[in-house]
């Protein structure tokens, strides 16, 4: 059983949630200012960022987005109608659908991901904790009970 939380544990957790919410609000507003929803940005990011290849299946994307298969299909269809991505039959299994980015989607996700990286670096620099790595500080603090 873990040790009880102290006041500083709550402060670390609250600060982390605050900074996470700041980042998420930034992300939501940025996506919307570029004509897509935050979830569409997340989909494009997961396709481009899928480990080891530049495409992903619908099932893989549903897992990465922590969403239901049918919801991701609808999201994919909306992105396809905006010419951000394409669907192709599976290379090894025709029952699967592979999702890959079209040039317009790739250009958009690159622009948005760069802005997200810059914002994360800014939030890291603004951190008041002993080290700018909030996640590591929280993890270490909770493990040690300090």
75: domain CATH number? 1.10.10.10
Nearest partner of 85 among 35, 48, 115, 32, judged by Cα: 48
CA 128 to chain centre: 24
pLDDT score for 126: 67
Write out the chain's pLDDT in tens, 146 residues. 678 888 988 888 888 888 889 899 999 999 999 999 999 999 999 999 999 999 999 999 999 999 999 999 999 999 999 999 999 998 888 889 999 999 999 999 999 999 998 888 787 666 655 444 555 655 555 555 54
How many CB atoms are located within 10 Å of the residue 76 CB? 22
- For residues 71, 73, 79 and 84, what is the CA-based torsion angle, rounded to 10 degrees? 140
Question: On the CB side of 75, how many CA atoms lie within 13 Å of its CA?
Answer: 23
Position 128 in a domain? yes
Nearest partner of 121 among 108, 137, 135, 133, judged by Cα: 133
Q: Which residues pair with 97 in a beta bridge?
A: 89
Structurally, how many domains does the chain consist of? 1
CA–CA separation, 19 and 128 (whole Å): 11
Position 34 in a domain? yes
CB 79 within 8 A of CB 40: yes
Position 138 in a domain? yes
* Residue tagged 């929280």 (tokens): 138
CA-based end-to-end distance of the chain: 16
**Domain with 98 in it:** 7-144
pTM: predicted TM-score of the whole model, two decimal places: 0.82
CB proximity list for 113: less than 8 A, separation 6 or greater: 45, 48
pLDDT score for 51: 96
Position 24 in a domain? yes
Position 140 in a domain? yes
CB 5 within 8 A of CB 143: no
Position 1 in a domain? no
């Amino acid at each position: 059983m873990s040790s009880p939380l102290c006041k500083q544990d709550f402060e670390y957790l609250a600060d982390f949630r605050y900074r996470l919410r700041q980042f998420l609000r930034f992300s939501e507003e940025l996506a919307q200012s570029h004509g897509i929803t935050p979830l569409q940005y997340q989909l494009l990011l997961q396709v481009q960022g899928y480990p080891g290849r530049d495409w992903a299946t619908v099932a893989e994307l549903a897992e990465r987005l922590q969403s239901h298969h049918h919801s991701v299909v609808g999201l994919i269809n909306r992105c396809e109608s905006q010419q951000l991505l394409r669907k192709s039959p599976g290379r090894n299994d025709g029952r699967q659908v592979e999702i890959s980015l079209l040039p317009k989607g790739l250009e958009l996700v690159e622009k948005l991901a760069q802005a997200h990286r810059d914002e994360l670096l800014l939030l890291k620099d603004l951190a008041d904790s002993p080290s700018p790595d909030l996640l590591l500080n929280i993890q270490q603090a909770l493990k040690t009970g300090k």
